[in-house]
Structure 1
Amino acid sequence: MSRHDPRSGFEVPVVDISAYTGSGGAEERAEVARRMDKACETVGFVQIVGHRVPEGVLAGLAAAVDSFFALPLAVKKAYRVEGNRGYSPPKSESLSLSLGLESASRMNDFFEAFNVGTEARSFPELALSEEDYGLNVWPEIAGFRGRVEAYFEHAARVARTLTTVFADALDLPGDYFESLTDHSIDVLRMNNYALPEGTVTLDGELTGMGEHTDFGLVTVLWADQVAGLQVLGRDGDWHDVAPIDNALLINLGDLTARLTNDRWMSTLHRVKPPIVEGTIQRRRSVAFFHDGNVDATIATLPSHLDADGGLAYEPILVRDHVHAKLAGSRQGKANTAAVREAARVLAAGARVTS
């Protein structure tokens, strides 16, 4: 089963991970791992069902997102802090710069976001710095923190389940990813694409969120069933993707692509919000980024050294990779290290929107 675009033949595979979240046997898990391997190699995006995130938790998350973004802009800006936490107002970021791609008008992505995540003090036994993680700020909204933390816990469980599937798919020891993720930088980003009337100009082409790849190992995405998310296929075209009923979208990040020497794809994606009669249709999404340990070194797996004509990635520290990507998207500094990712945008003839 897959999510099919009849116009192009583009498909986002659907994988049921119940064998890993329930009591599946070795044969059932092997089939899930096989299907995941194929999806990661051909698309890099997957619709997962069988994740066992309760409907009540998802409903609570949606209510929390609504309650925050309904606040007046001045109130939301009070939660703007340094680092990858708190509130990001519209046009304060440009995701294409995380690839080193210059846009005609910088910091022009018109989504707004609110971030929370793990903190260094979440791991008191380790000498970690909050500069690598960030301190959370919580809005004074009844029920907000509890609802968000409830979903965060489930999203983290799903992400770790997926890395177990990945280990099996790559014929690695079942606990391979534990040493890379036992104090992972995990960030939950709540995005809102519906802005009050008059805050954007509807002339020309708009950028909801610019072309980018995700930074880490795997992203777990809850989103409205509304058009807007587009992924770059191997055919060089952008394809619309929306979650099917009861599914979460997942996609691989740069670090997993590095592990597999690009056999598994860190797929480029963007958000191009639909405009109906001059009005931007509302779209919400919540992304859980499972980025890996700040002090872990990611090197191409020995089994994949020849996966790209023998050209392997240089080993990289997670801290250095994440800092370079964030400096692009949030500080306006083009990331000159994202050579392969940027080349895919340019080779496909993708337009960097302004």
Structure 2
Amino acid sequence: MADFTETSGRQAERHDGTNGRAVPGESASPWGLRSSNHRQRKKLVLHMDVNNTVVVSDTVTGQGTVAALDGFLTTSTWGKMTRHGKWEWLSDSPSLLPPCKDAVRYSVQFGRIPGFTSGAGRRFRGVLDEHLDQLRWPEGVEEDSELSVKGEDGRLYHWILPSFFQLLKDLVQEGWEFAILFRTFGTDLPRVLRAVHRALNEGAHPLFPDLPDLKINVNMTPGKIRCSKKGIVLSRAEDRVSSRDGERGLYQYFSSVQGLGGFQDHFDWWASNTFSIRGGKPLWVDPFDQSVQHIFIDDNMRQDDEDTIVQPRIFLDPGGNDTRVACTSELYDITLVQNDLLRAISDLNYFTERVNICLENYERNLQQGAG
């Protein structure tokens, strides 16, 4: 069976001049979720971070829309220190991956300094302004207490990215069986669930008034995942599952969920493990199970395991309980997606595209393993 030892990292491209953009409210995404008959039977379980993934803010750090986007730019701009101790920029364009071998993220060298684009990163001010404009709440549409948010600059913005709602439409339209679980360290999970419930049940979103037609159920009860040296415990309402009873039970729980819901992960555990993969949000992956595929999307996903946020645990045998912790690079763009917040803002089809890439790379790895 596949051991997920190689990542193709294949990037999808469009050649029709649209660069993946779509018009909100269209009956179909120009990108679309491709599927074949055998894939159509697979269930997708998408684990999605909240802050700086589907929401441009960060309750952990207390950042609003403008500050959060400004802070994201410190994590996606690159340079290096010269021999004379001076910072030298190596690229004028933000990117998730380094432009060259010895490039260092600004945030790694100096931290997420407030007011980045007003100071050291002023060359990226245009990028900030452009994406804030794309994030603006539609003119002439009344403020919505759940779906819109007022930025530090006094302007109204989308609170949840429109590309997230486009993903929901694409999944339903293509007939996928799926579930989406928000996985956040923050405290805003109840508000996220309320906002999504409002859009999906009341048709309150100005760009997607037909969302109630999707008939997606939202579980409004936030769950918790707590980790310790003794194991991992998941709880939500009356549900309680522990790794002490075997890790297979946690995998089966996540694989069986329906609709939308969410869990607050264990920030203190991640911090106590120096913000590394050792304390990351747990994700179970079973390469022997062809009936379900789990995908985790998070802006803090890194190929450096000493600086990443998800801990992928791969089962070693069919139906077994034993797992190993995989390196992020092993599963990058297969089950782990490093969210590009700039593209998630500017490209309505971004999340759909990333899911497609993971589906194709996952399938390719299974075929290679079988061979």
* Superposition TM-score, scaled by structure 1 size: 0.27
